[in-house]
Chain A
């Protein structure tokens, strides 16, 4: 396996591949480092190896931080361990592109994961690494999607789990967590309060908090979105990616995935322009971007996009740096724009996304309206979650006619007002 060690992103101090996430010396984040020297050179062989792998993220096991390779025997179509994530559809969205005056837009629909969000990618990697390290209990601080995924992975693998969420989370996300038999804890406060509590708990317990002490491994799972997009585009890079930003981890790791494959010769070309998407009610990264700052000032979130409601983004500085060096940006949209964009995406692509996907789609619409996207660009819109989890956001946006079950009632009550 190519995984080598952990390294501080700031001061470059090196650490062993254990449940560590922060540098003792400077408090910087630790990141996984690989040694791909054995696989450079033979691009065709590398591609064959990937294409011969299973239809899930374990086809990219060479680029993930597991000491023992993929977990258990997996055939190309059948997987025998856990809840395999990934290999979600990349859909060409011509009707959406047309509405926005663009030529080529693709929707990466990551709602098509086992628990209906991209979080299954990061949790699969973190939980597999946690098992390698000998942990028996997994845990997380979550805005909802992660809660679903950690609870489900715990159930699938027979591990105990503890899930901490803000107590006022959407009901759908609470129900879709508790059903897996996890220890679900609602915390009075916002996500940042939950995260602080879990950071404190993490130091006192022998648990694998997937997004705290396992965070270096967890974050690597997001690279698989980049790998899939490139593979699905025929081993090509898109020109631009629009990605929701909460902590900034997904945004920066998608770019890292493209860069890693470009360094290995699997892809050729420039890093896509990376556009981050936030809700106005929680836009510490977009505000810092607009102000030209290189760090984010924390905020108290107030938005319908609860899955993005992180007021104190851990990877904020790296997200800002990426947006600038890739020629992208970070934009924020209002709750009304989010609702309208959920509808726009649904009406033009058949994909019903949760509020985070509304944020992403609204930012695409905003960039298109501002004329920032060249019509020749190939744009990928990363849709991270499922609309059924945030039903309140679309309640009242359309009308249902109720009629008696007769043709006459239909003709009288509906035909005149609805085009059929």
Chain B
């Protein structure tokens, strides 16, 4: 299953300059693991030591914050779009 991951500007230097990446996986976790395998530097930027998302990172599946879904265990469908964004905006 192919999922498009949109990479925020702040992380593009660590992702070979790419704005998005196409990856396989059945859950958000699997897709992100695939992203980290491809761009190892992204792992520590996005994840804590215990593998959970850093607290200032938001991940959206088709525009919905994954914390309203099943978090990293949320299943993804073929053609889904996953967006990584900084959480510190707004207010």
Binding site for B on A (CB under 8 A): 10, 21-29, 141, 191-193, 195-196, 198-200, 202-203, 209, 211-212, 215, 246-250, 295, 297-298, 300, 310, 312-315, 317
Cβ A22 vs Cβ B90 within 8 A: no
User: Which residues of A have CB within 8 Å of B73?
Assistant: none
CB-defined A-B contacts under 8 Å, sample of 29: A21-B86, A21-B88, A22-B56, A24-B10, A24-B45, A25-B45, A27-B56, A27-B86, A27-B87, A28-B56, A29-B56, A29-B88, A141-B90, A192-B90, A195-B90, A196-B63, A196-B83, A196-B85, A199-B89, A200-B83, A200-B85, A211-B89, A295-B55, A297-B67, A310-B90, A314-B89, A314-B91, A315-B91, A317-B55
User: Which residues of A have CB within 8 Å of B8?
Assistant: 203
Q: Please report the total number of B residues contacting A with Cβ < 8 Å.
A: 26
Q: Of the candidates A27, A191, A198, A203, which one forms a contact with B88 in the assembled complex, judged by CB atoms under 8 Å apart?
A: A27
Main secondary structure of the interface of B (DSSP, over half): mixed
Asked if B77 is at the interface of the complex by the 8 Å CB criterion, the answer is no
User: Which residues of A have CB within 8 Å of B45?
Assistant: 24-27
Binding site for A on B (CB under 8 A): 6, 8-11, 13, 45-46, 54-58, 60, 63, 65, 67-68, 83, 85-91
User: Which residues of B have CB within 8 Å of A21?
Assistant: 86, 88-89
Q: Of the candidates A24, A196, A246, A317, which one forms a contact with B91 in the assembled complex, judged by CB atoms under 8 Å apart?
A: A246
| A161 to B35 alpha-carbon distance, docked (Å) | 37
Cβ A22 vs Cβ B88 within 8 A: yes
Cβ B54 vs Cβ A313 within 8 A: no
| A191 to B91 alpha-carbon distance, docked (Å) | 9
User: Which residues of B have CB within 8 Å of A195?
Assistant: 89-90
Cβ A26 vs Cβ B56 within 8 A: yes
With CB as the reference atom, state the residue of chain B lying closest to A295. Answer: B55
